[in-house]
Amino acid sequence: MSEVLKLAELNPTLKKFGADHEEYPNFWTISNLPMISKVVEKDAAEQLTHHVVTNSLDESLQSAYKKFHSTETALVRVQSDTLCAIDNRQSVMLHLIPLTTLFYSRDFL
Tens of pLDDT, residue by residue over 36-75, are 777 888 899 899 989 988 998 888 777 777 778 788 888 8
> What pLDDT is attached to residue 103?
65
Beta bridge partners of 13: 28
**Domain membership flag for residue 48:** no
Domain membership flag for residue 9: no
Would you say 92 and 82 are in contact if contact means Cβ atoms under 8 Å apart? yes
Per-residue pLDDT at 105 exceeds 60: no
The strand pairing partners of 29, in sequence order, are 12
Amino acid at 87: D
Residue ranges making up the domain that contains 103: 62-109
Measured distance CA(80)–CA(78) in Å, rounded: 5
Residue 42 lies in a domain: no
54 within a domain of the structure (yes/no) = no
Q: Looking at the 3D structure of the chain, how many domains does it have?
A: 1
Q: pLDDT grade, residue 1 (50/70/90)? A: low
d(CA 37, CA 77): 36
- In this prediction the pTM is 0.45
